Amino acid sequence: MAAENNGASSIGERWKAYHPAKSTLVWACIVTAIVTIVVGFTWGGWVTGGTSRTLAAEAGDLSRDELATVICVQRFKSAPDSAQQLSELKAIDSSYKQRQFIEAGGWATMPGDDNASRGAATACASALVG
């Protein structure tokens, strides 16, 4: 026994019968592309090429400073008068002046560089004092 339809068609039948206009399809594609881009950049973690280069440069600088800090601490501790220098460093109450002390001592100056990295000198002083 077949049930009477009474003129109402199912969703599947309506889907098969639907034939959108070309302009509707074009606008649907444009809206889908815009939504995809917005979602990708806001929640998807997408970044532009410029942002990517900036993030990579910052990560490189940070890792270089971390390596320079380790080298600085090792150089400081292996110096012949390190105990006296450490007591002088700990006597300085300003982190700015502690950084200057490390820079003046040359412990944070890496081979091939003329000047010490400020980030490395600050981190080196913190590591030695703390």
| Residue pLDDT, tens place only, 52-104 | 999 999 999 899 889 999 999 999 999 999 999 999 999 999 999 999 999 99
Residue range 2-16: mean pLDDT, rounded = 75
Domain assignment present for 34? no
> Could you tell me how far CA 33 lies from the centroid of its own chain?
27
Domain presence at residue 64: yes
What token pair was written down for 24? 């509707």
Measuring CA to CA, which residue among 76, 70, 81, 130 is closest to residue 103? 76
Place of tokens 């502690």: 98
Residue 46 lies in a domain: no
Which ranges of 3-48 does DSSP label H, i.e. alpha helix? 11-17, 22-42
pLDDT at 113: 85
Residue 1: inside a domain? no
Q: How confident is the model at residue 7 (pLDDT cuts 50, 70, 90)?
A: low
Q: Looking at the domain assignment, is residue 86 inside a domain?
A: yes
| Domain around 85 | 59-129
Alpha helices (H) along 43-94: 49-78, 82-91
Domains identified in the chain, total number = 1
> Is 116 among the domain residues?
yes
Q: Answer yes or no: is 82 within a domain.
A: yes
Residue 1 has pLDDT above 60, yes or no: no
Whether residue 4 is contained in a domain is answered as no
What DSSP element (H or E) covers 97?
helix 95-105
pLDDT tens per residue across span 14-34: 889 889 899 999 999 999 999
Q: What is the pTM of this model?
A: 0.64
Q: Is the pLDDT of residue 9 over 90?
A: no
Give, rounded to a whole angstrom, the gap between the first and last alpha carbons of the chain. Answer: 88
